[in-house]
Every structure is written in structure tokens, then in C-alpha cells.
Amino acid sequence: MHSPPALTAIPVRVSAALALALMAATAVRAAPATAPETVAVQLRDAAMAGHDIAYSWVSELTTRFGPRPAGSPNEQQAAAWAADKLKALGFENVRVETFPITAWVRGTESGQLVAPATQPLAVAALGESPPTPPGGLEGDVVIFPTLADLQAAPPGSLAGRIAMIAQRTVRAQNGAGYSAAVPARTDGPGVAAQRGAIGFLLRSVGTDSHRLAHTGTTRYVEGRVPLPAFALSAPDADQVERIAALGQTVRVRLFSGASYVRDAHSQNVIAEVRGRERPQEVVLLGAHLDSWDQGTGAIDDGAGTAIIAAAAKLIRDLPHRPRRTVRVVLFGSEEIAQPVPPGGAFGGHAYADGHRAELAGHVLAGESDLGSDRVYSLALPAAVGHGEFATTLLRVLTPIGVLGAERPPEDAGTDIGPSVEAGVPAFELSQDAMRYFDIHHTADDTLDKIDRAQLDQNVAAWAALVWLAADSEVDFRH
């Protein structure tokens, strides 16, 4: 898609700009009678031809700032950069809205088997988990196949020991394996503490076989995470299980120097293409700027921020604005839990709370937060699931491999979640998650994992959908 053989001497940037110029010229000649569907096809084709905005966005973001943990200087600098970038791209009403959080900072960390033989373990502290004592902690490991098995253990039965959940993550195109496995990470430490454990180990929530542990947040219980908690890489979890199966006691030593920053802040970055007829009606596009700390947050979620910014930019550059406003929100602090209610998604809650009076005018919302691989399925609100809007949109998207889902979205995303709970209808462009959870929340989440052709297909799907929704008068609520 990016460098057709006949154009190999011409940089992608130039050919993409040319494609856009041709598209705009076509639209100008035909205006104002160009049908919205025709414009959607033009947007789709411009993105598929290798528009450079998305890739250069995620490349610059991950290169300049690297990891962007919630509340860190890197996250703040990335937000300032994004705001400047959005202004330079021609967006309107660009602003940064800050909110207070407690940040978590990984320290040095290590894990070793100390019995029956000394062996190194590849571990990563779970986000928000407290440090170990300065000398580390040591205990015998009790293995539970699932969170339910740990929950079934009697109170006090794990006194002085380390609980481990060995549940595997199923590889699935829709990411269902992650949803099934992740409660072990969020709830496991609290459940283990109630049973007397001194530490918590988790087989990484991930589908790879590399010796990299997958971090991710765990949950506060009454204002604190009760136990030092660690993910083990999948091969290390296998090793621990095999030793136990030999009938031997597994004893481990764990160390974490993690710490908290209680007076940190995070921020949402907002930008708009104002609507020409109904500017108070908003189509909301969300993704998150923060990331975990070990990689550079390329697939989670630099890619999502790039996809929505690029889709909105293509719409911005059309000769005619859509009827309704297109609003891009780059959320902060998606990844981490918080010690105070509502416990997490502070960027999403800050947005919904700060824009409560506008939410009735939010006609539709979507979120891009499952990497950069291709979109294969479209789910729309029940109100329009089988109507003219869906039929038109699928005519545009089916040629790039997107099928209609049978049901409306059940959970369209963490960051738009609080707005959706307040009644904003949601769509979902489901991405192929077959390889996402090999990399997700590991040190391997880096730019090289992004497939440019698939990234562009995402932009194509988003641009066509958002344009058709924003240029319509469709009521997605009823």
C-alpha cells in the first residue's frame, strides 16, 4: 500500500499528499452535490493509499517521549507535544485539561527461585503494587490454577506464603482471552492478602512464550494495594509449575523498589473540527496517551492516538466541514488504578465530569485501544444496527475487510466508558487481536511492531465512519 512500484522514487509523504490533493480537487469540482458516501469512499481510499499522518504521529510520539506512565513528566510532555501538533494540523479549540492522580513508579525489581535450586525468574511488578521490604521477601509458593481456586482457599491458609495464579490467556481474535484472564491480575493480590499471603505471583496475562513479563494494573482495596505483586513470564510460570509437579516445594525471593507520587497530575488533550451546521453535536473519538513504562507504548496506545488523529485530520482537510463537530480526545491515565473512587479510568471520568452538560449533544463515541492491526468488525448502536446508516457504512467498509457485527458493542472502551454510562451511544471498530497480547504491557511494545498497511486500514475505517456519522442527522440514541 505504501510504495507502489511505479512511485518508488517518490517518498510516501509526497504520494500521500498528492492523493489527498487529488481527492480534494475532485470533491471541490463536485461540491456541494457530492454524496456523503462518495466522500467516505474518497477518505477511505486516501487513507489506504498510505497517508503518512498516522505512522509519523506514532513514530514521533514514541521516539520523542518513549514510555509515558500516567502522571510522569513524559506523559505531560507528550500531551503538550500532542496539543501543539494538533494545532499545527489545523484543529480548533485545542486544549489540555488536567486532573490530579496518584502516580506509581517502578523501581528496581528482581525474582529468584531459591529452592529447590537457585534460578533467575523474569518478573515485572504489577502496576500500583507496593514495594517489598528493603531486603526483599521470601516464601513458599502455593499455586492456584485460577482466581476462583484462590478465592476458595480458606482465610489464613496462606499465612507467610506467596500465592500464585497460573491461569493461561487464550489467544482470540476479539481479545476475549484477555478479558477472561485479567481479573486474576486486578483482584488476585487482594484475595491473596485476605488469606494471609505475603506476596502474589501471576502467570502473565499474555499469549506469547517470551521471557518478558506483562505488567498491568492491579486494584486498590480500601485505599491500598495490600501485597507486593508480580507477573512472571510465561516460560517462568511453566517452570514453577513443573517443579511443583515434581512434588518439590518452590521457594522464591522477590524484590521491588516501587514507589508512589501522591500529588501527581495527568491530562486529557482535546481538539476539534467544528461542525458547519450543528456544532453543538459531537462525534467523540478517544484513545489514550499514557502507556506502561517498560516499552514505548507504540501499540498501547500510541497507535490509537495516531489512528484517531489521522482520521480526524483527513476530515479536517476536506473542502467542506461535516455538519456536526468531530472531537478528538487523547486521554491521560487510562492504564492505572487509583486509591480513591471511582478507582480508575480517571481520564475518562475527568472528561465525562468536566463535559457533563455537553454529553446530551454527544451523538456518538468510539475508542481505539487494541493496537494497530486491522479492523475486521463494525458494531453500531442498536438504534441504527440495521438501518440505512449501517447499510451505507458497510458498503464503504466491506471492501477493506470490515464485516458487520451481530450485536451492538458491549464495552466500547475504558476512556469513553463514563460518557457511555451517561447515555452517549457507542460504536466499535473491532481490531484483530491475534498478536496483540503477545506484546501488550511488555518491554516489547515498540514502534517496530506496527504494520503500516494495517495502521492505514484503521485510519480508513475510522475516517469513513466518523465522516458519515458527523455529516448526517442520524439519531444514534433512539
Residues serving a catalytic function are: 334
Q: Which of these ranges, 142-150, 325-333, 363-371, 404-412, lies near Zn ion under the rule CB under 5 A?
A: 363-371
Could you tell me the three cell numbers for 429?
471498530
Stretch that binds Zn ion, among 94-102, 188-196, 292-300, 424-432 (CB under 5 A): 292-300
Which residue type occupies 453? A
CA distance linking residue 256 with residue 200, whole number of Å: 12
Task: Determine if the peptide bond prior to 301 is cis (ω within 30°).
Answer: yes
Q: How far is the CB of 280 from Zn ion (least distance, A)?
A: 30
- CA gap 428, 330 in Å, rounded: 17
Query: Is residue 70 within 8 Å of 267, Cβ to Cβ?
Result: no
Asked if 301 touches Zn ion (CB under 5 A), the answer is yes
**From the CB of 301, what's the least distance to Zn ion, in Å?**
4
Q: At its nearest, how many Å lie between Zn ion and the CB of residue 316?
A: 25
Residue 281 to residue 362: CA distance in whole angstroms: 6
Q: CA geometry: angle at 438 spanning 437 and 440, to 5°?
A: 55
Q: Which stretch binds Zn ion (CB under 5 A): 26-34, 65-73, 279-287, 365-373?
A: 365-373
Decide whether 300 or 373 has the Cβ nearer to Zn ion.
Answer: 300
Measured from the CB atom, is 419 or 472 closer to Zn ion?
419
Q: At closest approach, how far in Å is the CB of 473 from Zn ion?
A: 33
Placement of cell 518478558 in the chain = 212
Q: In what order do the strands lie in the sheet with 92-105?
A: 92-105, 259-273, 324-331, 278-288, 362-367
Please tell me the count of residues contacting Zn ion according to CB under 5 A.
3
Q: Which three cell numbers stand for residue 14?
A: 509526497
Task: Out of 300, 317, 367, 445, name the contact with Zn ion by CB under 5 A.
Answer: 300
* Minimum distance, C-beta of residue 300 to Zn ion, in the bound complex (Å): 4
Q: Is 128 or 301 the residue whose CB approaches Zn ion more closely?
A: 301
From 90-98, 298-306, 394-402, 441-449, give the range in contact with Zn ion by CB under 5 A.
298-306
161 vs 185 by CB, closer to Zn ion: 185
Binding to Zn ion (CB under 5 A) within 403-432 occurs at none
By C-alpha distance, which of 389, 394, 456 is closest to 425?
389
H or E segment to which residue 475 belongs? none
Nearer to Zn ion, 109 or 334 (CB): 334
DSSP 225-252: --S-EEEE-HHHHHHHHHHHHTTPPPEE
Q: How far is the CB of 68 from Zn ion (least distance, A)?
A: 11
111 vs 302, beta carbon nearer Zn ion: 302
Q: Which of 52, 75, 281, 369 binds Zn ion (CB under 5 A)?
A: 369
The residues, any chain, with a CB within 8 Å of residue 45's CB and separated by 6 or more, are 19, 23, 460
List interacting residues with Zn ion (CB under 5 A): 300-301, 369
